[in-house]
Structure 1
Amino acid sequence: MELAEIVHEADIDDERFDAPEAPGLDVALCGVSMVCGDGRVLDLTGPLFDGAV
């Protein structure tokens, strides 16, 4: 649930959750998406969001 709140805040930025990690996650994901295609972004971030890291 905590990861879901961080991802929600990073994606929507509506301040619904107090997730101080959200801006950093947003910047990291935006940076990855600037240098990789969608498929590669999913390959890199999938384990993080699936909890397999």
Structure 2
Amino acid sequence: MSDLKNRTRIGNTVDNQLLKKFKELSTETRIPMSKLIDEALRDLLGKYNRL
């Protein structure tokens, strides 16, 4: 049983260079990748008026 109460695991593939830069951003900012993905999804949904 998962210990994740408010999160869901997903699987995806991404462009290799995007992933490299994404990991660098996470390391430099010390913000976990999951939090950065949450932010990116919020921005994308906002762009399409889906929030």
Shorter-chain TM-score tier? 0.3 to 0.5
Q: Which has the larger radius of gyration?
A: 2
Would you tell me which structure has more helix in proportion to its own residues?
1
Ranked by relative contact order (alpha carbons within 8 Å, sequence separation 6 or more), the top structure is 1
TM-score (norm 2): 0.39
